[in-house]
Structure 1
Amino acid sequence: MTIDKLKDELSYINDYVYFDEDDYLREKVSNLSKINELIKEAEQLLKVCKIEEDKYFIQGTLGNLYRISEFPKRSIYYLEQCYEYAVHHNDLKKEIVTLIRLGEAYKYADQLEHALSLFNEAIRKCKSFNETKFLDFALQHKGKCLVELKRFEEAESV
């Protein structure tokens, strides 16, 4: 598999994922075998990948796929690798996106307070550097996390 083929396969991800209305609209997998196939292909691609930017993409993909397939520890591992890459390359946009993704992984690992701190860090970075493109996304995930913590009034004020 090539990175382009992986990206093409990922363009159909919504066919295999849904938002569970009975579980705080968390993303869930409707076709686990397809997601497992994507994970296997991405893992193989990562082993042979030489380009750092592509590794970041593949690790981010694996982080998201493991999260939705209910393996949050594996998700956290890959997303922490992404965060290290973003910080090392001083890439603010990647830092913010990865903080949000990592927050979601911690939320799925039932570490909601830690997730909340990551969402807050993403929001702080968005505001400090006027990175408005991701601010709504970070606020949305913070609000959903607060709802899961049953901190409804705080969630409404986000």
Structure 2
Amino acid sequence: MRIVDFKKSLSSVNEFIYFDSNDFLREKTSNPLRLKQVISDAEYLLKINIEESDKYFLYGTVGNLYRVCGEPQKALNYLNICLCHALKEGNITRETVTLIRIGEALKYYEKHDEALEHFEKAFKKCKDNKLETYLDFALQHKGKCLMEMGRLDEAVECFIEALKLREFKGDTTLIGSTKEALKLVKRLKIQ
């Protein structure tokens, strides 16, 4: 398999990944075997001679997919390599994205305080470097972490701010995701 073929095949992953409304909207898979095959394909590509930029992409992808598979420690191993690549390149955008991904893996590993620190770092990187593209993601993931921690009022604040940014972007999928998070946190407040 070539990297270009792998990238094309990734779009099919969305067919068997979903947000579980019974588990704080965590990403899960309806087809673990197929997801493991995608991971295996990516790990194979990491073993052959590929471009450095492709390595960053693959480490990030494998890290995310291991998180979805419920293996956050493996996810963290790959995502920390990914972060090293971003830092070595001095690529603030990649560093920010990876901080958010690491935060998510830590959250799935039930290390909420550490996850929150990573979301805060990502938020600060966005603000300090005018990376508006990822500001809503930092807020959304921070809000979801706060929601899991039972800090519901703070979570609502993050979601409302993320929603404003997403409405400005006009991305209906992201807007819908934030609205779902707001609905869930409101249900949790009633319970």
TM above 0.5, yes or no, is: yes
1:153 Cα shift?
1.3
Aligned to 1:53: 53
Aligned to 1:72: 72
Over the aligned positions, Cα root-mean-square deviation in angstroms equals 0.8
Structure 1 stretches of 4+ moved >3 Å: none
| In 1: Cα distance, 2:77 partner to 2:128 partner | 27
Post-superposition Cα deviations, 1:66-116, rounded to whole Å, max 9, x if no partner, equal 000011000000000010110110001000100001100100111011000
The structure richer in helix per residue is 2
Aligned to 1:86: 86
Q: Which amino acid aligns with 1:130?
A: K
Q: Which amino acid aligns with 2:150?
A: K
1:143 Cα shift?
0.3
| In 2: Cα distance, 1:26 partner to 1:49 partner | 34
Number of residue pairs aligned between Structure 1 and Structure 2: 158
Q: Give SS of 1:130's match.
A: coil
Q: Which amino acid aligns with 2:97?
A: V
| In 1: Cα distance, 2:96 partner to 2:134 partner | 7
1:9 Cα shift?
1.2
| In 2: Cα distance, 1:94 partner to 1:16 partner | 26
Tell me, which stretches of 5 or more residues in structure 1 are unaligned?
none
TM-score (norm 1): 0.98
Q: Which amino acid aligns with 2:17?
A: V
Q: Larger Rg: 1 or 2?
A: 2
TM-score (norm 2): 0.81
Aligned to 1:106: 106
Q: Give SS of 1:93's match.
A: helix
Tell me, which stretches of 5 or more residues in structure 2 are unaligned?
159-191
Aligned to 1:41: 41
Aligned to 1:133: 133
Aligned to 2:175: none
1:50 Cα shift?
3.2
| In 2: Cα distance, 1:49 partner to 1:143 partner | 39
**Identity level (%):** 46
Aligned to 2:13: 13
| In 2: Cα distance, 1:156 partner to 1:39 partner | 34
| In 2: Cα distance, 1:14 partner to 1:50 partner | 25
Aligned to 1:26: 26
1:151 Cα shift?
0.4
